[in-house]
């Protein structure tokens, strides 16, 4: 996947693209892949890096949504469980089955959650991961040795999926690229082209070269997450806001806080929220919150009350109480929740996700969740075909293997998230053993990986490498700051950048990553 090659193809296109997608998160990447797989011509523009927005900030679950089950939204759970099964089959290198334990602190919780999880199993049917069952108090403690035992009566175990969100995003971009889509990061949509009041293309600002250019399109899909209203208002300055933003945060702790393989799921905290503590990449992710926000930003920050909520609840359910110094990273993400439309739009589909078609033909795709990105994409491309008069073609993604697909475990566990590509990264190391060195003693990233990110995965900045190609920003924010100069050096060699660029990159990364440090941003990394 090469940025310059994608841009060349865009500039030399003689006819309008069948589909232009604005936004490179789960929704946009899924749409670009679906359209390319059907044989349509596609270009996607992302203003920052793929998955820079909400799609790198999730709880990392591929799930049916136990919460929706509580709300009685059976069709939504069914759809998500079907998609969970498909994703596990199509990206086995990134999705794995995860055991969750619901600890029971009153006698009624056992039967209540036990029956609920049996319904969940039945809905999953053949795509079920493992049947749920009751656990005695002893079994619960065996599975979660650090669970709070005061008043504990037992538990219920069930299974859901877990994945790596931004790695999946990069692999989706690669799959779309391999099918002929032009995928460009650091390219911002700054306006829409119109012909006879109908949207006929996009104006793009290339943030690397500073160039501005127009791209003609038969259909334009606005998949910009919490930014969809901005694009809708480029189309029609009077368009009302349809998005209500809700923030969710997570903290990341060392694995010792949740040893073993099982996760904890608290279906209802005292104030009615769902809380997870999930093992992930040899660490523990704890969250989340649901805080309505008035504004939105590409770099949201955890609020003091959210940090306090997650810490208090981590202490409540774990025997080992985390202190601020134990928190390796804190990250925030924004949910785009769809409010009712203003009457001038047609809500073509409104489930968990929404597809909204403006009078000009601009198609907005939003809401939903990572788990259902494929179905959202199928729905939106069906709409785009009808609206733009494209040939109706069959959706091809249900059984499509995603880039990196393999069922063979990588020889080196740190290379496992690269799936089938691990072999080629290993070859870089075999050819130059110095590339086996880590970028920082407390991080598991080898220098060869950074070369791979630049050459093959379209990483353009230090942040792309440390936040999304690897997950070091989320796993150990302080160590990632210390690793930034070395990552900048390797990237500069690969991308032909000078020393001034390296300095700028390191400074920009440090400024960003300090926002992920929970306690003292001036602290040094623990190994
Ligand atoms: C706290 C939290 C936890 C979650 N956990 C889970 C989970 O465990 N499992 C699950 O299935 N789902 C989960 N979700 C939901 C899931 O993460 C989101 O539904 C999904 O990531 C949304 O993807 P998106 O592409 O619509 O938005 P985004 O990922 O935000 O992508 C939009 C992109 O558009 C780009 N953009 C904006 N404006 C422009 C422009 N003018 N030009 C070009 N590009 C632009 C942005 O930079 C951004 O990258 C969670 C959500 C949150 C907030």
Residue 25 beta carbon below 6 angstroms from any ligand 1 atom:
yes
Q: Is the CB of 201 under 6 A from ligand 1?
A: no
Cβ atoms of residues 322 and 146 within 8 Å: no
Ligand 1 atom nearest residue 248's Cα = 1
Q: Indicate which atom in ligand 1 lies nearest the CA of residue 50.
A: 49
Q: Whose CA is nearest to atom 49 of ligand 1?
A: 53
Rounded percentage of the chain residues whose pLDDT exceeds 70: 96
Name the percent of the chain lying above pLDDT 90. Answer: 83
Q: Residue 125: which pLDDT band, with cuts at 50, 70 and 90?
A: confident
Task: Give the global pTM.
Answer: 0.96
pLDDT tens digits along 251-299: 999 999 999 999 999 988 877 788 999 999 999 999 999 999 988 999 9
Q: Is 274 helix (H, G, I), strand (E, B) or coil?
A: coil
Spacing, Cα 51 to ligand 1 middle (Å): 7
- 192: β partners: 202
Residue 409 carries which DSSP code?
P
Ligand 1 contact, 364 CB (< 6 A): no
Per-residue pLDDT reduced to its tens digit, 70-105? 777 888 889 999 999 999 999 999 999 999 999 999
CA distance 243 to 366: 9
Q: Is the CB of 27 under 6 A from ligand 1?
A: yes
Distance (Å) from CA 45 to ligand 1 centroid: 15
Give the DSSP H or E segment for 135: strand 133-135
pLDDT given for residue 527 in this prediction: 46
Mean pLDDT value of segment 32-53:
98
CB of 223 shorter than 6 A to ligand 1: yes
Long-range contacts of 2-11 (CB under 8 A, 24+ apart): 2/458, 3/184, 3/185, 3/186, 3/208, 3/458, 3/460, 6/43, 6/177, 6/182, 6/183, 6/184, 7/182, 7/184, 7/206, 9/182, 10/43, 10/182, 10/184, 10/213, 10/215, 11/213
Among 32, 224, 373, say which to mutate for ligand 1: greatest number of ligand atoms within 8 Å of CB: 224
Q: Is the pLDDT of residue 344 over 70?
A: no
Mutation test of ligand 1: which of 10, 21, 45, 55 has the most ligand atoms closer than 8 Å to its C-beta? 55
State if residue 185 touches ligand 1 by the CB under 6 angstroms criterion: no
Taking the CB of residue 291, how many other CB atoms lie within 10 A of it? 18
Q: Which atom of ligand 1 is nearest to the CA of 55?
A: 21
pLDDT band at 54 (very low <50, low <70, confident <90, very high): very high
pLDDT confidence tier of residue 524, bands split at 50, 70 and 90:
low
Could you tell me the pLDDT band of residue 107, with boundaries at 50, 70 and 90?
confident
Q: Mean of the pLDDT values across residues 203-225?
A: 98
Measured from the Cα of 369, ligand 1's closest atom is 19
Pocket test for ligand 1, best of 184, 225, 298, 474 (most atoms within 8 A of CB): 225
User: How many A from CA of 367 to the centre of ligand 1?
Assistant: 9
CA of 229 to the centre of ligand 1 (A): 14
Task: Say if residues 92 and 405 touch (Cβ distance below 8 Å).
Answer: yes
Output the CA 256–ligand 1 centroid distance in Å: 30
Residue 345 has pLDDT above 50, yes or no: no
What is the H or E stretch that residue 45 is in?
A: strand 42-45
User: Is the shortest distance between the CB of 300 and ligand 1 below 6 Å?
Assistant: no
Which tens digits make up the pLDDT trace of 372-395? 999 999 999 999 999 999 999 999
Distance 378 CA to ligand 1 centre (A): 17
Question: Radius of gyration (Cα) for the chain, nearest Å?
Answer: 23
357 beta partners: 346, 363
What's the whole-number mean pLDDT along residues 113-118? 85
Residue pair 68/368 in contact by the 8 Å Cβ criterion: no
Q: Cα(4)–Cα(299) distance, rounded to whole angstroms?
A: 27
> In the predicted model, what is the mean pLDDT of the chain?
93
Does 189 contact ligand 1 (Cβ within 6 A)?
yes
Per-residue pLDDT reduced to its tens digit, 175-210? 999 999 999 999 999 999 999 999 999 999 999 999
Q: How far is the CA of 327 from the centre of ligand 1 (A)?
A: 24
Q: Could you report the per-residue pLDDT of 418-444, keeping only the tens digit for each?
A: 999 999 999 999 999 999 999 999 999
């Amino acid at each position: 996947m090469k940025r310059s090659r994608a841009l060349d193809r865009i500039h030399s296109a003689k006819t309008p693209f069948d589909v232009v997608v604005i936004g490179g998160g789960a929704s946009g990447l899924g749409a670009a892949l679906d359209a390319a797989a059907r044989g349509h011509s596609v270009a996607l523009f992302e203003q920052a890096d793929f998955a820079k927005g909400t799609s790198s900030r999730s709880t990392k679950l591929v799930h049916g949504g136990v919460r929706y089950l509580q709300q009685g939204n059976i069709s939504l759970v069914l759809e998500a469980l079907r998609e969970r099964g498909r994703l596990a089959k199509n990206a086995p290198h990134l999705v794995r089955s995860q055991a969750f334990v619901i600890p029971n602190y009153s006698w009624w919780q056992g039967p209540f959650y036990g029956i609920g999880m049996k319904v969940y199993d039945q809905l999953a049917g053949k795509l079920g991961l493992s049947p749920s069952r009751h656990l005695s108090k002893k079994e619960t403690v065996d599975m979660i040795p650090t669970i709070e035992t005061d008043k504990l009566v037992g538990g219920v175990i069930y299974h859901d999926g877990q994945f790596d969100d931004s790695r999946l995003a990069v692999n989706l971009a690669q799959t779309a690229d391999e099918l002929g889509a032009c995928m460009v990061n650091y390219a911002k949509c700054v306006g829409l082209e119109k012909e006879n009041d109908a949207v006929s293309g996009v104006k793009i600002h290339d943030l690397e070269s500073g160039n501005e250019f127009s791209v003609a399109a038969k259909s334009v899909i606005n998949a910009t997450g919490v930014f969809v209203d901005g694009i809708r208002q480029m189309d029609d300055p009077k368009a009302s806001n349809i998005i209500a933003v809700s923030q969710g945060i997570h903290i990341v702790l060392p694995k010792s806080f949740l040893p073993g393989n099982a996760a904890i799921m608290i279906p209802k905290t005292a104030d009615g929220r769902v809380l997870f503590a999930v093992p992930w990449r040899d660490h523990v992710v704890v969250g989340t919150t649901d805080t309505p926000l008035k504004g939105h930003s590409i770099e949201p920050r955890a609020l003091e009350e959210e940090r306090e909520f997650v810490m208090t609840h981590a202490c409540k359910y774990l025997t080992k109480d985390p202190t601020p110094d134990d928190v390796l990273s804190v990250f925030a993400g924004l949910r785009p929740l769809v409010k009712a439309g203003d009457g001038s739009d047609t809500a073509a589909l409104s489930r968990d996700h929404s597809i909204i078609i403006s009078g000009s033909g601009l198609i907005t795709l939003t809401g939903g969740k990572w788990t259902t990105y494929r179905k959202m994409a199928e729905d939106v491309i069906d709409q785009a075909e009808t609206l733009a008069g494209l040939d109706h073609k069959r959706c091809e993604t249900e059984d499509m293997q995603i880039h990196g697909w393999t069922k063979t475990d990588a020889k080196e566990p740190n290379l496992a998230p690269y799936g089938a590509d691990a072999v080629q990264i290993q070859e870089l190391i075999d050819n130059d053993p110095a590339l086996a060195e880590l970028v920082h003693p407390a991080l598991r990233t080898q220098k060869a990986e950074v070369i791979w990110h630049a050459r093959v995965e379209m990483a353009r900045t230090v942040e792309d490498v440390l936040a999304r190609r690897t997950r070091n920003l989320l796993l150990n924010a302080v160590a990632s700051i210390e690793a930034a100069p070395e990552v900048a050096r390797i990237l500069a060699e690969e991308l032909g950048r000078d020393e001034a660029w390296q300095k700028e990159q390191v400074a920009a990364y440090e400024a960003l990553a300090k926002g992920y440090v929970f306690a003292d941003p001036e602290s040094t990394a623990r190994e």
